[in-house]
Structure 1
Amino acid sequence: MTSLALGHLPSLWRQHLLSEFAGLKQACPEGVFVSLTPGEPSLWSAVLFVRHGPYAPAVLRFQIMFPDAYPRAPPLVTFSTDIFHPLITPLTTHMYAASVESDKSTTERPKLPPGGFSLEHGFPEWFGGPQRSEAGSRRSKSPSAVSTKSSKRRSMKPPPVPEKDNLPRYMQTDRRTISTYSLLKYIRSTFDKAEVLDAVPLSAAGNPGAWHAWRTHRRKQEKVDEKKTYRLSRLSILSGDTTRDFGSERGDGAAESDAKSITSSQATREPGEWNWDGVWEDRVKKGVASTLTESVLYGASGISDDMIHFLALEEGTIEAVKGNLRRTLDASA
């Protein structure tokens, strides 16, 4: 009797990718558009239109390379659009937490290429489970930057498969299969949902500098919200008690004094505690604006095999195209 060897049939999983891509035509995360590379179903080109959230209204290009071991091994997600994001490694440098680089478990977390998107937070089962990720987060220290030469995405090897997953796939019954829909939905959520970024640990960050900048931005937002709430509560209280006003003035003065002492002590802080105030706002604002420029939208994408291109059309032409699409949809309904 011929033995089953499903774990050694990449063609079967290529067919699986094609079926998942066909499913995305019926149900795809909002704002995400995906295209296949002809003759290479394991390489997908995609564009993300961020319609709300902290990175709106950016237009971001990325590619997904699925290894033969997918879905046991994680795909490689690479952004060609330069954007300041906690999960995306910079296009020109590698940045990792010092504890991550010295961690013995880094064999399960290969270094990402320039523009690489870290999936460790969203799918910890691909990287040894949540226990290793939590341990790395507790030991995380200040980030360090290591300059590396730019390399092509195709030259990167797919992440290795953990040794414990060497069993044939038909024998692996305790593993949750991660769909491409879930993958795309998670990627989108890291751009339009602030709470998702809030939950990312430093050990899973692709860009520790952006991680610190985001945390500083969020703390600043919380303080602004607290001040607004306090002022509204005071306005709602009709009282002529000058002592309370004097007390609040003393509180403001104490806050200013604390702020000055914090500023004076920044020179002795660790790199992970540098003054990141305003860094995230400035970098992201410039990055989002650059994604909307004509040279970026309609020029070369920087990916030789990118399958998605934009055309600069007049308003009248766009309305005509929309009308044709509506008529087609009405006819098929």
Structure 2
Amino acid sequence: MASLTLSGLPALRRQHLLVEFAGLKQVCPEGVFVTLSPGDPTLWSGVLFVRDGPYAPAVLRFQISFPDSYPRLPPLVTFSTDMFHPLITPLTTYMHSTDVQDDGTVSATDEERLPPGGFTLRHGFPEWFGRGSRNTSRQSSGQHQPVQTPPRQPRLSVSSKGTPTSKGSAVGNSPGFAETQTKEISTFEVLRYIRSTFDDENVLDSIPVEAAGNSGAWHAWRTHRQDQGKVFEGASEAPDAGDTKEPPGQNESGMPSGVRKPGEWNWEGVWEERVKKGVAASLSEAVLYGGAAGGGGGDDVIRFSNMEDDDIEAVKDNLLRAIAH
């Protein structure tokens, strides 16, 4: 009799997700809170409290959707809170292709696309994105969710020192962008990696442009870091904003001269401005307590209450009494 695998049994796959979720109740990355959608263990809702680093103190809502063949295929992570981030596709994007060619064109047959707000996992977990293995897996998974595109040419990431031990840097303890050895990846590792891309500058520095979900945010972050004195290996000087103009007609790539690639824009000050606005918006009452896009109202599973300090202390006391008994 052929051996039965976890990916071939839907009931066991769901049980596997429930076991992973139960484990997160005991140990979960700091600042990350997740819960199951009622009646559907394959859809998780989460909130990330960014307590340190370049995106602090943002409060970000996201969902994780697990395909039928998880953990052989990656989950789809989608942020509903708008944030300017190298790995998050803009909410204004109808559908972001992760296989854009150098001339800016997108294949009409490209099935590997991220929805608006999609978070690409290619940098943290490149072993999930082999085209051959994915095509084989799709036969069993069907079209459950769009799958992110693997890098066309893996590149070694810039070395980093990682974060303090208490934070558990995901990059320091997981395969790099160029490593492709196969292993089963836990949801804890995914959540820890997601958090590290918001609170650890070294993780953001190590992301190659090929793995970016928002190339504009990638260039803006690089410019911001270079302004701080960071030197990247192999990085060329950014073109001066006044030198990017071309005569009317077409440029060497055949594109209209008025169209410039993300690397040709002047990104000075863009990251600081966009992220500052995004963090402020994530902390606004309309977003935290509902009513605005990406807010805590409507159908959100995790909701916040606007409470006075005395009420918060009373809730804390009740929790402590419940734990004591």
Structure 2 unaligned spans of 5+: 132-142, 151-180, 232-236, 247-259
Match of 1:310 in 2: 304
1:159 is the counterpart of 2:167: no
Give, in whole Å, the separation in 2 of the partners of 1:50 and 1:277: 24
Matching residue's letter, 2:242: S
- Aligned in 2, Cα 1:87/1:296: closer, same or farther, shift over 3 Å? same
Preserved contact between residue 82 and residue 91 of structure 2 (Cα < 8 Å)? yes
Matching residue's letter, 2:276: K
1:177 is the counterpart of 2:171: no
The structure with more helix, counted as a fraction of residues: 1
Q: Spell out the pairing of 1:31-110 with structure 2 (5 A cutoff).
A: 31-93=31-93, 94=95, 97-99=100-102, 110=112
Matching residue's letter, 1:298: Y
Preserved contact between residue 113 and residue 156 of structure 1 (Cα < 8 Å)? no
Q: Spell out the pairing of 1:291-302 with structure 2 (5 A cutoff).
A: 291-300=282-291, 301=294
Give, in whole Å, the separation in 2 of the partners of 1:218 and 1:210: 12
1:281 is the counterpart of 2:281: no
Matching residue's letter, 2:185: I
**How far is the alpha carbon of 1:11 from its aligned partner?**
1.1
Q: Which structure would you say has the larger RCO, counting Cα contacts within 8 Å and 6 or more residues apart? A: 1
Secondary structure at the aligned position of 1:19 is classed as: helix
Secondary structure at the aligned position of 2:245 is classed as: helix
Match of 2:314 in 1: 320
Describe the superposition over 1:249-285 as per-residue Cα deviations: whole angstroms up to 9, x where unpaired: xxxxxxxxx99x9453243575422100000000000
Structure 1 unaligned spans of 5+: 130-154, 163-173, 225-257
**How far is the alpha carbon of 1:47 from its aligned partner?**
0.2
- Aligned in 2, Cα 1:66/1:310: closer, same or farther, shift over 3 Å? same
Secondary structure at the aligned position of 1:25 is classed as: helix
Matching residue's letter, 1:119: L
Q: Which stretch of structure 1 is more off in the superposition, 280-289 or 293-302?
A: 293-302
- For residue 119 of structure 1, the aligned residue among 118, 121, 133 is 121
Larger Rg computed on CA atoms? 1
Preserved contact between residue 31 and residue 48 of structure 2 (Cα < 8 Å)? yes
Deviant stretches of 4+, over 6 Å = 100-104
RMSD (CA atoms):
3.0
**How far is the alpha carbon of 1:199 from its aligned partner?**
0.7
Match of 1:128 in 2: 130
Match of 1:194 in 2: 201
Describe the superposition over 1:211-259 as per-residue Cα deviations: whole angstroms up to 9, x where unpaired: 11000000001179xxxxxxxxxxxxxxxxxxxxxxxxxxxxxxxxx99
TM-score, normalised relative to structure 2: 0.72
Q: Percent identity?
A: 62
1:4 is the counterpart of 2:7: no
**Count of paired positions:** 258
TM-score, normalised relative to structure 1: 0.70
- Aligned in 2, Cα 1:160/1:195: closer, same or farther, shift over 3 Å? closer
Give, in whole Å, the separation in 2 of the partners of 1:78 and 1:55: 17
- Aligned in 2, Cα 1:267/1:198: closer, same or farther, shift over 3 Å? same
Match of 1:203 in 2: 210
Preserved contact between residue 86 and residue 213 of structure 2 (Cα < 8 Å)? yes
Describe the superposition over 1:145-176 as per-residue Cα deviations: whole angstroms up to 9, x where unpaired: xxxxxxxxxx97242999xxxxxxxxxxx831
Give, in whole Å, the separation in 1 of the partners of 2:144 and 2:2: 34
Secondary structure at the aligned position of 1:98 is classed as: coil
Give, in whole Å, the separation in 2 of the partners of 1:103 and 1:274: 21
